[in-house]
Structure 1
Amino acid sequence: MLRHLLSKIKATGPISVAEYMREALTNPVMGYYVKNDMLGPEGDFITSPEISQVFGELLGIWCISEWMGAGSPNRLQLVELGPGRGSLTNDILRVFGQLRSALGQTEVSVHLVEVSPRLSQVQAQLLLPAEQSQQAASDDQPVYRQGTTAAAGLPVSWYQRLEDVPRGFSVFLAHEFFDALPVHKFQRTPRGWREIMVDVDPEKKDELRLVIVPAPTLASSIFIQADEKRDHVEVCPGGGVIVQQLANRIAEDGGAALIADYGHDGTKMDTFRGFKGHQLHPVLEAPGTADLTADVDFGYLRRMAARKGVACLGPLPQRDFLKNMGIDTRMQDPAARAQLLRSHDLLTHPDHMGLRFQFLCLLAQSRLPAPRAPPRGLKGDPLKTPAALPVAGFTELSFS
């Protein structure tokens, strides 16, 4: 990968950080996500669903709560973007099975958007019966893998693009998905905004370096807000496109989206970093062998989604969302308490994931004033949501 990038830059000049991330992470031959199983204790990082099944169970309750609040339509599509090892979907489907009586005759299906052939195989091994998980995937079809889940008997399909997921009432989940999308980096200078790009180090011909290009680029001309107060900005155009696709589907077909990631509300600056073996890793060192990530700018996602006419609730810290969804009640189970104590601390404590991770919900505007039970758990945007409106996970969820 390093030789490939050095050759590319020498031939065409410096490349954007976004292009560097795209090559290093998703190059079809050498990309980090394409060839690695990076999750878990033996990988490079661990996610909330891998820490405790309670995380996925609470999101499963959120999905059913939102489906019920929308009037219990007779069709429900669970769509996860970047499903990792499949743990989150697996835990949610267990909740669906336990609450099958609430779902009744609803037609439920599962749709996974995954670009990594390696991870799709891992997901299939977890979700499908053994004989189905070994079936070869087809790379040239919109649906490149299909099966029926082992536990719940639900149809599940894999796609490389969100556009290929069938239309219809859907609950979309994106957990640690947007942070891996490529970002452009910009620096304020005395001559105006300039883009930070990746170039060959002239003193070390086989290494890369970050440089501030002297002239404006197309990206620096169109991606910076006129009222931007920060001196360093990271913008994820791909994230803006995807959140607008989600907003379009929600506005036209109904449903909701829950985005959970580490990020900020348009306040942080230089967050681009690498991870390898659960440790920080230099972003330009050994590309293709480490994860690259940047904190999600939820303020940017809100602006992009609002252009499509949906309501945005949050972002709300993970600690508050999980407490609103009843994680403390779940901790009262004597049989599970000892096992859950450490995971509860990792998920909710401010020094761990409690404040760093944020939850953002997208809903159709028509959903908010409906007399049915609104989604729970999130505090609404005061500009878009009546003050007394309860929202699952964004206001407290009570169990009877």
Structure 2
Amino acid sequence: MLHLRRCTWRMKNLRAYYTVKNEQLPKDPQQVAKQIFSKIKATGPITVADYMKEVLISPVGGYYMHKDVFGEAGDFITSPELNQMFGEMIAIWFLNEWSKVGSPKPFQIVELGPGRGTLSQDLLRVFDHFGALKGATLHLVEVSPVLSDIQARRLCIQTDNILDQKSVIYRQGITHQGIPVKWYRQIDDVPNCFTLLVAHEFFDALPIHKFQRINDRYKEILIDIDTSKDYSFRYVLSKEDTPASKLFIKSSENRDHFEVSPESLVIIKKVADRLEADGGFALIADYGHNGNGTDTFRAFRKHKLHDALIEPGTADLTADVDFHRLAHSASEAGGVICLGPKAQRDFLLNMGIEHRFRALEENVKPELKEGLQYGYKMMTDKEQMGERFKFLALLPAVLKKMVEKYPVAGFH
């Protein structure tokens, strides 16, 4: 089986990135482990979801909070960073669907978890190329101060644009295309407006609860202290029903092991409510399954699999996205319709990435050709990202008849 966080890759002729200085990193590599150790000692074993929150976004030592985790010196790479074609296909998708409803203005482009800002950069470039940025604003939902700084450096004319770290809009600026951009910590604070929302490799990092069936009864998998050595941890099974096991285990469940991300279900419901109320389209891209995944929780460090319980805070934690449950949560109220999940390879080929690749290949500088070819193969090959990654589209339910008459691009 191919194990991927973002993918194992080689850094050759790919995009260049901003970096952060080492002094921004926590001085004590055991800082997060000590926090978790103290928490478990005080309250008992914790859920995997609580563990993920502490490891990834703890203000003191959290994995995403104090360093640049991307690129050759980081732990993973995303499709937008391989080359420009991925972002271009997503931009064309939004332009196509937006034009079908008359290109309403004003409108906002919203990205959840923007990474280094590479995807937003490509979206703005393509929209600007087609003269489609009039009445547009950009809104980024990002919890990491380090990553928001990298995003600002990539996207904005000026980078000294921090407002107040405690305010709802904690950073703002003007992009190179001349449109306003603002940063938020949660989607609730993004203003109401016709929205083109993208979430690429965002949901895979949200906390999960893990369950295992023992003697025809599900137990939640928890994390406890491993007394064999300092600040180490182990998995244990809950002795009694937990709040999560009472809420999220369906009577129809028959897998021996499965995972649920309540935060993902809440966020996708908020996205659906926003599209229903204000209009717009959402595109979710991530690696995952259609309701048949089992034990997918894992860690990546330096582009390799890493034990999730060793040295927490030094490696990325992730789990496959349950697209079936995500789509059900989004559409159960009837306000939106969901399309997909569609394999990344099929979506990109349907959007015409092969034609774009051939055109770029003919005109690219010789020293960049290998990187272009490598990126294209990584994104579309069935053995790489092509089948592992999937796309889910959300549209207001009022567009159902239009969708039946004019199929949504990429999902036909």
DSSP-derived class of the 1:7 partner: helix
- Given residue 228 of structure 2, which amino acid in structure 1 is its aligned partner? E
* 2:162 corresponding residue in structure 1: 136
- Equivalent runs, 1:1-400 vs 2, <5 Å: 1-100=32-131, 103=132, 106-129=134-157, 132-150=158-176, 152-190=177-215, 192-309=217-334, 310-333=336-359, 334-336=362-364, 338-339=369-370, 340-370=372-402, 374=403, 386=404, 389-395=406-412
CA contact under 8 A between 2:85 and 2:357: conserved in structure 1? Answer: no
Measure the CA separation in 1 of the matches of 2:114 and 2:333. 25
Measure the CA separation in 2 of the matches of 1:392 and 1:20. 39
* 2:4 corresponding residue in structure 1: none
CA contact under 8 A between 2:162 and 2:172: conserved in structure 1? Answer: no
How far the C-alpha of 1:389 sits from its partner, in A, is 4.5
Measure the CA separation in 2 of the matches of 1:313 and 1:44. 31
* 2:7 corresponding residue in structure 1: none
DSSP-derived class of the 2:294 partner: coil
CA contact under 8 A between 2:105 and 2:194: conserved in structure 1? Answer: no
Measure the CA separation in 2 of the matches of 1:38 and 1:269. 27
- Given residue 362 of structure 1, which amino acid in structure 2 is its aligned partner? L
CA contact under 8 A between 1:319 and 1:350: conserved in structure 2? Answer: yes
How far the C-alpha of 1:206 sits from its partner, in A, is 2.9
CA contact under 8 A between 1:272 and 1:292: conserved in structure 2? Answer: yes
Q: What is the identity percentage for the equivalent residue pairs of Structure 1 and Structure 2?
A: 50
- Given residue 389 of structure 2, which amino acid in structure 1 is its aligned partner? F
- Given residue 380 of structure 2, which amino acid in structure 1 is its aligned partner? T
Deviations 1:321-356 (A, max 9, x none): 000111011022110393522211010001110000
Measure the CA separation in 1 of the matches of 2:171 and 2:279. 26
DSSP-derived class of the 2:287 partner: strand
Measure the CA separation in 2 of the matches of 1:314 and 1:41. 32
Q: TM-score, normalised by structure 1?
A: 0.91
How far the C-alpha of 1:205 sits from its partner, in A, is 4.9
- Given residue 327 of structure 2, which amino acid in structure 1 is its aligned partner? R
- Given residue 321 of structure 1, which amino acid in structure 2 is its aligned partner? F
DSSP-derived class of the 1:172 partner: strand
* 2:11 corresponding residue in structure 1: none
DSSP-derived class of the 2:385 partner: coil
How far the C-alpha of 1:70 sits from its partner, in A, is 2.0
- Given residue 56 of structure 1, which amino acid in structure 2 is its aligned partner? G
Measure the CA separation in 1 of the matches of 2:78 and 2:163. 26
DSSP-derived class of the 1:208 partner: strand
How far the C-alpha of 1:191 sits from its partner, in A, is 5.7
* 1:379 corresponding residue in structure 2: none
- Given residue 76 of structure 2, which amino acid in structure 1 is its aligned partner? F
Deviations 1:284-312 (A, max 9, x none): 01111110000000011011011232100
Q: Which 4+ stretches in 1 moved above 2 angstroms?
A: 134-137, 202-206, 336-340
How far the C-alpha of 1:180 sits from its partner, in A, is 0.1
CA contact under 8 A between 1:247 and 1:308: conserved in structure 2? Answer: no
Q: TM-score, normalised by structure 2?
A: 0.88
- Given residue 347 of structure 2, which amino acid in structure 1 is its aligned partner? F
How far the C-alpha of 1:182 sits from its partner, in A, is 0.3
- Structure 1 gaps of 5+ residues are 375-385, 396-400
RMSD of aligned alpha carbons: 1.4
CA contact under 8 A between 2:48 and 2:207: conserved in structure 1? Answer: yes
CA contact under 8 A between 1:67 and 1:76: conserved in structure 2? Answer: no
CA contact under 8 A between 1:244 and 1:308: conserved in structure 2? Answer: no
Provide the aligned length of Structure 1 versus Structure 2. 374
- Given residue 335 of structure 1, which amino acid in structure 2 is its aligned partner? N
- Given residue 257 of structure 2, which amino acid in structure 1 is its aligned partner? H
Measure the CA separation in 2 of the matches of 1:336 and 1:7. 55
- Given residue 357 of structure 2, which amino acid in structure 1 is its aligned partner? M
How far the C-alpha of 1:21 sits from its partner, in A, is 0.1
Measure the CA separation in 2 of the matches of 1:55 and 1:293. 22
CA contact under 8 A between 1:83 and 1:113: conserved in structure 2? Answer: yes
- Given residue 45 of structure 2, which amino acid in structure 1 is its aligned partner? P
- Given residue 411 of structure 2, which amino acid in structure 1 is its aligned partner? F
- Given residue 164 of structure 2, which amino acid in structure 1 is its aligned partner? S
- Given residue 388 of structure 2, which amino acid in structure 1 is its aligned partner? R
Measure the CA separation in 2 of the matches of 1:218 and 1:136. 39
